[in-house]
Structure 1
Amino acid sequence: MAPMSNKATHPPDTPLYPIREVSRLTGVNSVTLRAWERRYGLIRPQRTPKGHRLYAQDDISRIERILQWLNRGVPVSQVADLLDQPETVEAPTPNAGDWASQRQQLQAVIEAVDLPKLEALYHQSLALYPLSVAINELWQPVILTLEAKWAAEPDDLVRRTFEAFFRSQVGIRLHYANQATRGPLILLSAMPDDPGPLWVLMCALMASEQGYRVQLFDHSLPLDDLPQAVSRLHSSMVLLSSGQRENDRYIRDDLPKAAEALGVPLGVCGEVARLRENDLRDGAVHMLGDDLPQAIARLRPLLRESGIL
């Protein structure tokens, strides 16, 4: 594929959009758009005399095609070769991609307790990919693998160091995002049997990305305290998450009672939603699934149905 020229090729009367508007239209943050341009040459905006990027409709359509490939599991490094091919072209098989090697690298860095490298990989993944892709293709699979490994061979040093790193990164992101949005407040809590906050932290990232304010409890908040917490924090919804099955009494008895007592929806996501789908299929608890981007996407229609939005 020939390298892309920096010279704009759009007709002079083409409507142009600033990067903030393109980010709003496509859901891709400005950091990622700049990375796609600089690192991979995937898009080619025009520039104002002061150097500000301006995007034409063709650029926006190209960004949407990039997202289609990424959502089909194609790594960003392979997208350039596919963009100009017919839409009927099949995505490369998973073995042809580099997601497996990225996951192996991330897991190795976590287990080596290499925090500078971990920070670099964290920021790189969020810069190069929409968060939903980074969660689905990288972070969630690695966390699932590690949790299964830790269940068989506990390694508290690795787990707690990784949790502390992830908590600090997500906490910074939530602090600034909560100040920048007026979206509904989600009260997000881990469940009692989850040994750490990794699932609830991934949920917090996704909810914040989708414009919600997030009040995060990375240790389980007692169910009896939920009504007071909702009232005092002015929360629009309670979202509970876990990577564990959780015990039968909590799932079958305590959780439905708590949902009935709340004046706002109570949702469940993470591995627990897959493992306990049949136990809570009917009733006041909303099972949102273990696909975290999809789970967070289901919040808005749920809040509309409840009359909150």
Structure 2
Amino acid sequence: MSEQAPHTGDTPLYPIREVSRITGVNSVTLRAWERRYGLIKPQRTPKGHRLYAREDIARVEQILQWLNRGVPVSQVRELLDRPTPMEPQPPDTSDWSSQRTQLMTAVAALDQHRLDMLFSQSLSLYPVSVCIAELWQPVIQALEEGWGERLGDTLQRRFLEAFLRTRIGTRLLHANRVVQGPALLISAMPEDPGSLWVLLVALAASDKGFEVQLFDAPLPFSELPLAVEHLHAGALLLASGQAEKSDLVRRQLPRLAEQLDVPLALCGPVARIRASELTGSQVEVLGDDLGQAMVRLKALLPQGSATSR
């Protein structure tokens, strides 16, 4: 690895928690990038605590740029160490392809140990938004396209839902303790056969700094205004992996939006499929790119109501 620019001694040094706050990369991931891939090289205090210079923070931001373009973390070091900027080549997607295959195989085999390893490994090495876009969302889409009435399909779905409900629920619990601002109420829609999409949406929203209140089973539309009021939600976000009924989308959703004092937003495949039917309504259609959906949602809320970690 080529040497990073030396620290001059007259510029500030930052502890890992501050670097995490500045860059949005959690401490576990920063340590993994250092230990496993040699991507960054912080200084150490006499007690062994990491200290990062501005040059290190700039390097972390460069790493994020490459990861967000789909480059596997194992290939980033070579790109960072090039002496002169070069026209980027199309990223090698074999790493993500392999992880997707492993993930689908683990679900088919009901292999919880393997599933847990893949979940923890991906989130320790990559930003949550990249994990969702490159791994979890494509896998869930592929699984849902393949699941039908075959023996074992429902078992696979419920197995994956139970796994993600536990893992994502734990992340939400810890994240909600440090988030400032109003809650985001997330609920599944009536025709979605499971909670996979709404769980992914909750993970994406938490990553963007929202305090997430999640209902992964549908609530009656008549009770959603009451839920918003009692949970002091700053917005209501509905998600579904299905098209949902036309009458529900065209009539009931706009009517619900009119009853609320906070924004009503829609995301997931339903938002892509039904977007044209909600033109001119008060329903904010966010699409099925969950990273972009969260950016659009934050723009709807008062500034400072949700801050990225």
Residue 268 of structure 1 contacts residue 287 of structure 1 at CA under 8 Å; is this kept in 2?
Answer: yes
Cα offsets for 1:275-304 (capped at 9, x unmatched): 111111321000011011111122221013
Aligned to 1:268, which of 266, 269, 273? 266
Match of 1:249 in 2: 247
Match of 1:43 in 2: 40
Match of 2:228 in 1: 230
Match of 1:161 in 2: 159
Match of 1:142 in 2: 139
Q: Distance in 2 between matches of 1:20 and 1:93?
A: 31
The CA deviation at 1:131 is 0.3
Unaligned runs of 5+ in 1: none
Unaligned runs of 5+ in 2: none
Match of 1:202 in 2: 200
The one-letter amino acid of 1:177's match is A
Distance 1:152 1:271, change over 3 A: farther
Match of 2:100 in 1: 103
Aligned to 2:178, which of 180, 190, 193? 180
SS at 2:265 equivalent: strand
TM-score by length of 2: 0.93
Q: Distance in 2 between matches of 1:94 and 1:84?
A: 18
Structure 1 position 280 matched with structure 2 position 278: yes
The CA deviation at 1:89 is 2.5
Match of 1:115 in 2: 112
The one-letter amino acid of 2:77's match is A
Q: Distance in 2 between matches of 1:153 and 1:74?
A: 36
The one-letter amino acid of 2:187's match is S
Cα offsets for 1:100-149 (capped at 9, x unmatched): 11111111111111001111111111100000000000000000000000
Q: Distance in 2 between matches of 1:171 and 1:30?
A: 20
Q: Distance in 2 between matches of 1:94 and 1:145?
A: 21
The CA deviation at 1:223 is 1.1
Q: Distance in 2 between matches of 1:36 and 1:271?
A: 33
Structure 1 position 126 matched with structure 2 position 126: no
The CA deviation at 1:14 is 2.8
Quote the RMSD (CA, aligned, Å): 1.9
Cα offsets for 1:14-52 (capped at 9, x unmatched): 321111111111111111111100110000000111111
The CA deviation at 1:3 is 7.5
SS at 1:288 equivalent: strand
Residue 254 of structure 2 contacts residue 282 of structure 2 at CA under 8 Å; is this kept in 1?
Answer: yes
Match of 1:15 in 2: 12
Structure 1 position 29 matched with structure 2 position 26: yes
The one-letter amino acid of 2:191's match is D
Q: Distance in 2 between matches of 1:280 and 1:37?
A: 47
Identity rate of aligned residues, in percent? Answer: 58
TM-score by length of 1: 0.93
Distance 1:23 1:308, change over 3 A: closer
The one-letter amino acid of 1:287's match is V
Match of 1:57 in 2: 54
Residue 45 of structure 1 contacts residue 59 of structure 1 at CA under 8 Å; is this kept in 2?
Answer: yes
Residue 240 of structure 1 contacts residue 269 of structure 1 at CA under 8 Å; is this kept in 2?
Answer: yes
Q: Distance in 1 between matches of 2:149 and 2:301?
A: 39
Distance 1:124 1:308, change over 3 A: closer
Residue 180 of structure 2 contacts residue 305 of structure 2 at CA under 8 Å; is this kept in 1?
Answer: no
Report which structure shows greater RCO (CA 8 Å, sep ≥6). Answer: 2
Residue 74 of structure 1 contacts residue 91 of structure 1 at CA under 8 Å; is this kept in 2?
Answer: no
Residue 183 of structure 2 contacts residue 233 of structure 2 at CA under 8 Å; is this kept in 1?
Answer: yes
